[in-house]
Amino acid sequence: MGGLTRARPAPTRYHPPPMNILGIETSCDETGVAVYSTERGLIADALHSQVDLHAVYGGVVPEIASRDHVRMLLPLIRQVLGEAGIEKPDAIAYTAGPGLVGALMVGGGMANGLGLAWACPVIPVHHMEGHLLAPMLEDDPPEFPFLALLVSGGHTMLIAVHSLGDYRLLGTTLDDAVGEAFDKTAKLLGLGYPGGPALAALAEQGDDKAFAFPRPMLHKPGFDFSFSGLKTAVMLEVRKAEAAGKLRRDDVAASFQRAAVDTLVARAIKAAEAYRLERIVVAGGVGANKLLRKDIAEHFDGSVFYPRMEFCTDNGAMIAIAGALRLAEASPADEIRVRPRWPIASLDVPRPAQ
Ligand code: KG4
Ligand code: ZN
């Protein structure tokens, strides 16, 4: 037999077909829906905020939240599919947790029901992973690895992100989340709910050196946070100033914001340096805070990435892109998975699509 060998065809790389992913967010008090195209990026996005419904109660009422998600979800889905110019998506991603169980069930039930009706795969997404991946929606997305500073109403976390799903939790809050501290301080100052944005606006007119509030945990080792001491210090000063009849709310707001932001910035930069990470991603509702965005960019030697303002707070676009990146994990809808408590460090690195 001669030594004739037939040239093998060069292996072709697998190119998944372009897909449109519908993202559904209902973990708390915003109904967020969006369509992300793996080819064209974000092609439709809609948000309904329930803030007015909860404001009279001074915080989120879970039952009211669930009912309003039921009312708004389907019309918003119709709206974004119309805007995207498609009849149905190729996959559906929904927030499966953490969050309010009833609110999560509305999104989970809808996503899985539509998945059955449209015979398309359904992807359960971790809410904080959505926040963490939100900067990937921008024109200049961060590359892995990076440090994520996740700051919202329920979480304050520093995470070393090595790749999709490879998340090492470096630090978290021992008590209140930073957004919660903003909201509680705002309430104390009579600013209503949610107080974060209102407090930040008032702080712009105040003197941030008027009160020397504590920078909690800054001199302790490790990367954990604590905000309850700061909250108490603010409360004591407000009572004292009120009793003396000279409360300057703008000075309190500015000094509180300065102490909270100093703590976040110092802790995040220390963690990035300790783990030799050259990029920091700031995400979650408090990531909309202008002082935080300015200070971290000013003090960190590496690059800082944020989502655009409207994608810092809860939205459907971050769930849609997280779903797009996790498409390999999509499965036929055979159960509704929601996890009101769900540690982000327990997520897996997705297996490549077959
Ligand atoms: O991520 P998010 O929309 O919902 C949760 O997952 O919690 O974050 C909401 C939190 C609230 O505590 C709100 O007061 C805070 O983010 N927040 C702000 C600002 N905008 C929203 N905190 C400080 N400064 C802001 N500009
Ligand atoms: Zn959130």
- For tokens 């460090």, what's the residue? 345
At residue 55 the predicted structure's pLDDT band, cuts being 50, 70 and 90, is confident
* Position in ligand 1 atom list of the atom nearest CA 127: 6
- Helix, strand or coil for residue 88? coil
The pLDDT value given to residue 353 = 57
Distance 26 CA to ligand 2 centre (A): 10
Neighbour count for residue 83 (Cβ, 10 Å): 14
The pLDDT-based confidence of 334 (bands split at 50, 70, 90) is low
Q: By mean pLDDT, which of 22-36, 137-151, 322-336 is the weakest?
A: 322-336
Model confidence band, residue 2 (pLDDT cutoffs 50, 70, 90)? very low
Helix (H, G, I), strand (E, B) or coil at 44: strand
Is the pLDDT higher at 191 or at 16? Answer: 191
Out of 127, 149, 286, 291, mutate this one to test ligand 1's pocket (max ligand atoms within 8 Å of CB): namely: 286
Q: Confirm or reject: Cβ of 288 under 6 Å from ligand 1.
A: yes
Ligand closest to the CA atom of residue 100: 1
Q: Which domains does the chain have, with CATH numbers?
A: 20-134+312-346 (3.30.420.40), 144-306 (3.30.420.40)
Distance of alpha carbon 145 from alpha carbon 6, whole angstroms: 43
Residue ID of nearest Cα to ligand 1 atom 24: 289
What is the pTM (predicted TM-score) of this model? 0.90
**Is 90 exceeded by the pLDDT of residue 147?**
yes
The CB of 28 under 6 Å from ligand 1? The reply is yes
At position 90, the amino acid (one-letter code) is D
178 CA: nearest ligand 1 atom: 12
In this structure, what is the dihedral angle of CA atoms 109, 114, 116, 118, given to the nearest 10 degrees? -170
Which residues sit opposite 332 in a β-bridge?
none
Contact 332, 115 (CB under 8 A): yes
Q: Which ligand is nearest to the CA of 60?
A: 1
Please state which of the ranges 48-62, 76-90, 282-296, 319-333 shows the lowest mean pLDDT: 319-333
Residue 115 has pLDDT above 90, yes or no: yes
Q: How far is the CA of 7 from the centre of ligand 2 (A)?
A: 54
pLDDT at site 350: 81
- Buried/exposed code over 312-350 (b: 16+ C-beta within 10 A; e: otherwise): bbbbbbbbbbbbbbbbebbeebeebbbbeebebeebeeb
Smallest-distance ligand from the CA of 291: 1
Beta strands in the chain (DSSP E): 20-25, 30-37, 41-49, 91-97, 122-126, 146-151, 156-163, 166-172, 279-283, 303-305
pLDDT at 329 over 90: no
Mean pLDDT throughout 73-79? 98
pLDDT at 14: 58
